[in-house]
């Protein structure tokens, strides 16, 4: 029997989310940069990514279970896949929409290659990248819950299912409230703040 | 020495080919102050961008000190029509950016940045972000940034158009003083003929459709110049006369092509070229 206490379940869930999201962050950012740098990849992958992005990430679960079995890896896979595409699409479109004037100014000041990329292109694209990361996080959060509801392992989603099985209304509602609070806290306080700070500094929103 | 030989520039767009520059020949000696004037759309910015290395000429040669210009570079600083500051950097870091790329030491960089910010009267805003400044203030930061690079050539595309006349005349004086002291080559684009005569050794009048050089005026008035000076006013008058013809020509061409478009919709002939190119 798994431990059903809420703090432990919450900790397990957050840990999964953290691992899954970190993976998607690394792969998503790299994929975005690669697609931007390699024109062939852009032509080949961008339409594909747009399509795949519309697929709710939980739809990957059956495939993940076939690959990894019914367990930890499958949930993490679903979390990661849920946010990789929105992160990499945000990187690609953020870079594509960097005002050409910034690039021209950087060129005339002699900024070339990687230096220009890191000192102008990336910061100019940052507001869009951050909002992609924020969106990715909320996708990852949803994927986590769906994954835990559908796989009998552990975590908040699993305790929620147990509550249903035990006809324990208090537990079900209690866990839902915990899930809402955790979602709001991470989404608003963490990402919301970072995004707001960046938009203000870039002069894109009124503080 | 800047040599522009037989430069043509075409832009291909959906609506066909725009002949932005045709047969442009110009040579600029080191230390010259050249001002380009001409009606809107005559290719002033295009020519400046080609010199900057940001655009490639369709044909013809552009070279500086004997070497062909293939790319943009810090020996030709550009001030654009817009300030082109980086919004994520503070004013002072914007000024320092180019020097940082060039490899200027931290200390020297800061000193120079402050020196030039002082010159444009913006030290108070050193740690503000660009979006907290007015358009004119941003343009002054861009000037400080351009000057701090110590390039031997400065390319300026209507840099002061957004400024009030007070600030403008302060910067005119500063620019002339800097030009006198540093012997930079300056190529300056403006719509304002008074500004042109106030600053230039040579005023180049361009024509539109296609963009070419029509006439050159040498301005040999003593410096510092005064906008109310009678000789200056008479030179302005001459250039304005030349320009007026050009602006009217452009306006007429536009009117005619509008007219032909309107008419071709009820004359059942697919001849949209009617009246074009008069
Ligand atoms: N990137 C571009 N693509 C297509 N056409 C262009 C492009 N840039 C300029 N042109 C065309 O080239 C011509 C010259 O433009 P340019 O910007 O050099 O004019 P300008 O003399 O600087 O005008 P203004 O005084 O209004 O700034 C115009 O007819 C314009 O439509
Ligand atoms: Mg222009």
| Orientation angle between helical segments B135-148 and B91-102, nearest 10 degrees | 20
Q: Is residue A170 domain-resident?
A: no
Residue at token pair 């993940």: A64
**A155: helix, strand or coil:** coil
Q: Is residue A48 domain-resident?
A: yes
The minimum CA-CA distance between B86 and chain A, rounded to whole Å, is: 7
Q: How far apart are CA B119 and CA B149, in angstroms?
A: 15
CA–centroid distance, B42 to ligand 1, in Å, is 7
CA–centroid distance, B211 to ligand 1, in Å, is 10
Tens digits of per-residue pLDDT, A93-151?
999 999 999 999 999 999 999 999 999 999 999 999 999 999 999 999 999 999 888 88
Nearest to B101 among A102, A109, A202 (CB): A109
Nearest CA in chain A to B96: A109
What CATH number is given to the structural domain containing A119? 1.10.3720.10
Which of B211, B212, B215, B186 lies closest to B203 in space, CA to CA?
B215
pLDDT at A115: 94
Q: Do B101 and A201 touch (CB under 8 A)?
A: no
CA–centroid distance, B139 to ligand 2, in Å, is 15
Q: Do B71 and A201 touch (CB under 8 A)?
A: no
The DSSP 8-state label assigned to residue A185 in this structure reads I
Chain A residues 147-206 within an 8 A CB cutoff of chain B: 201-204
Q: Is residue A141 domain-resident?
A: yes
Q: Is residue A178 domain-resident?
A: no
Nearest CA in chain A to B150: A109
The pTM score is 0.86
Q: Is residue A119 domain-resident?
A: yes
**B2: helix, strand or coil:** strand
Which residues form the domain of A117? 15-152
Mutation target to probe the A interface, by most A beta carbons within 10 A, among B46, B84, B125, B139 is B84
Number of domains in chain A: 1
Taking CA atoms only, the protein residue closest to ligand 1 atom 30 is: B41
What is the ipTM score, two decimals? 0.85
Nearest to B101 among A101, A115, A204 (CB): A115
Q: How far apart are CA A64 and CA B61, in angstroms?
A: 61
Tens digits of per-residue pLDDT, B118-155?
988 999 999 999 999 998 899 999 999 999 999 999 99
| CA-based end-to-end distance of chain B | 38
Tens digits of per-residue pLDDT, B36-71?
999 988 999 999 999 999 999 999 999 999 999 999
Give me chain B's average pLDDT, please: 89
pLDDT at A3: 52
Q: How far apart are CA B32 and CA A71, in angstroms?
A: 75
Q: How far apart are CA A25 and CA A46, in angstroms?
A: 18
Q: Is residue A58 domain-resident?
A: yes
User: How do strand B2-13 and strand B59-64 relate by DSSP bridges?
Assistant: antiparallel
Contact B68, B16 (CB under 8 A): no
Tens digits of per-residue pLDDT, A20-57?
999 999 999 999 999 988 888 888 888 888 888 888 88
Q: Which residues pair with B13 in a beta bridge?
A: B16
Q: How many residues does chain A have?
A: 207
Which of B26, B7, B10 lies closest to B18 in space, CA to CA?
B10
Nearest CA in chain B to A99: B84
Q: Which domains does chain B have, with CATH numbers?
A: 2-75+151-254 (3.40.50.300)
Q: Is residue A71 domain-resident?
A: yes
Which of B70, B67, B42, B41 lies closest to B55 in space, CA to CA?
B70
The minimum CA-CA distance between B198 and chain A, rounded to whole Å, is: 27
Taking CA atoms only, the protein residue closest to ligand 1 atom 28 is: B41
Tens digits of per-residue pLDDT, B69-121?
999 999 999 999 899 999 999 999 999 999 999 999 999 999 999 999 998 89
Contacts of B145 in chain A (CB under 8 A): 109
Q: Which residues pair with B203 in a beta bridge?
A: B35, B217
Q: Do B87 and A201 touch (CB under 8 A)?
A: yes
Nearest to A108 among B77, B85, B87 (CB): B77
Q: Is residue A126 domain-resident?
A: yes
Contacts of A107 in chain B (CB under 8 A): 53-54, 71-72
Mean pLDDT computed over A165-171: 89
Instruction: Look at A52-66, A101-115, B240-254 and tell me which has the smallest mean pLDDT.
Output: B240-254
Which of B50, B95, B33, B102 lies closest to A104 in space, CA to CA?
B50
Is the per-residue pLDDT at B13 higher than 50? yes
Q: How far apart are CA B66 and CA A9, in angstroms?
A: 73
Taking CA atoms only, the protein residue closest to ligand 1 atom 22 is: B45
pLDDT at A4: 59
Q: Do A201 and B54 touch (CB under 8 A)?
A: no
Give me chain A's average pLDDT, please: 89
């Amino acid at each position: 029997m798994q431990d059903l206490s809420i703090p432990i379940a919450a900790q397990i869930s957050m840990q999964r989310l953290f691992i899954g999201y970190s993976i998607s962050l690394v792969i998503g950012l790299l994929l975005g940069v690669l697609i931007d740098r390699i024109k062939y990849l852009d032509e080949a992958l961008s339409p594909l990514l747009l399509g795949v992005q519309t697929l709710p990430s939980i739809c990957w679960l059956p495939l993940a279970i076939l690959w990894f079995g019914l367990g930890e890896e499958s949930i993490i896979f679903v979390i990661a896949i849920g946010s990789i595409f929105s992160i990499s699409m945000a990187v690609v479109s953020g870079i594509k929409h960097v005002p050409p004037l910034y690039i021209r100014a950087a060129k005339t000041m002699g900024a070339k290659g990687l230096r220009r990329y890191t000192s102008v292109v990336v910061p100019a694209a940052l507001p869009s990248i951050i909002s992609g990361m924020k969106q990715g996080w909320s996708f990852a959060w949803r994927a986590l819950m769906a994954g835990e509801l559908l796989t009998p392992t552990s975590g908040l989603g699993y305790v929620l299912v147990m509550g249903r099985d035990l006809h324990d209304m208090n537990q079900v509602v209690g866990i839902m409230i915990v899930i809402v609070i955790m979602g709001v806290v991470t989404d608003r306080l963490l990402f919301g703040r970072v995004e707001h700070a960046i938009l203000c500094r870039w002069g894109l929103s009124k503080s | 020495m800047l040599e522009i030989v037989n430069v043509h520039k075409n832009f291909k767009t959906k609506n066909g080919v725009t002949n932005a520059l045709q047969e442009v020949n110009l040579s600029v000696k080191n230390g010259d102050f050249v001002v380009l004037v001409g009606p809107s759309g005559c290719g002033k910015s295009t020519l400046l961008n080609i010199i900057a290395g940001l655009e490639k000429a369709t044909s013809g040669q552009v070279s500086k000190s004997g070497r062909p210009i293939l790319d943009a570079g810090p020996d030709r600083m550009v001030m654009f029509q817009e300030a082109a500051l980086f919004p994520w950097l503070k004013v002072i870091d914007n000024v320092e950016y180019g020097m940082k790329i060039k490899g200027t030491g931290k200390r020297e960089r800061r000193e120079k940045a402050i020196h030039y910010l002082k010159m444009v009267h913006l030290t108070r805003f050193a740690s503000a972000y660009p979006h907290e400044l007015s358009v004119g203030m941003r343009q002054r930061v861009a000037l400080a940034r351009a000057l701090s690079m110590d390039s031997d050539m400065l390319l300026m595309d209507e840099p002061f158009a957004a400024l009030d006349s007070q600030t403008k005349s302060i910067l005119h004086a500063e620019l002339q003083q800097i030009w006198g002291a540093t012997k930079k080559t300056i190529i300056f684009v403006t719509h304002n003929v008074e500004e042109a005569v106030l600053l230039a050794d040579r005023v180049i009048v361009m024509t539109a459709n296609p963009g070419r050089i029509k006439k050159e005026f040498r301005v040999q008035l003593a410096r510092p110049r005064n906008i109310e000076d009678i000789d200056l006013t008479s030179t302005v008058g001459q250039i304005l006369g030349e320009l007026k013809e050009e602006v009217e020509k452009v306006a007429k061409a536009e009117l005619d092509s509008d007219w032909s478009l309107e008419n071709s919709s009820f004359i059942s002939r697919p001849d949209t070229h009617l009246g074009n190119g008069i």
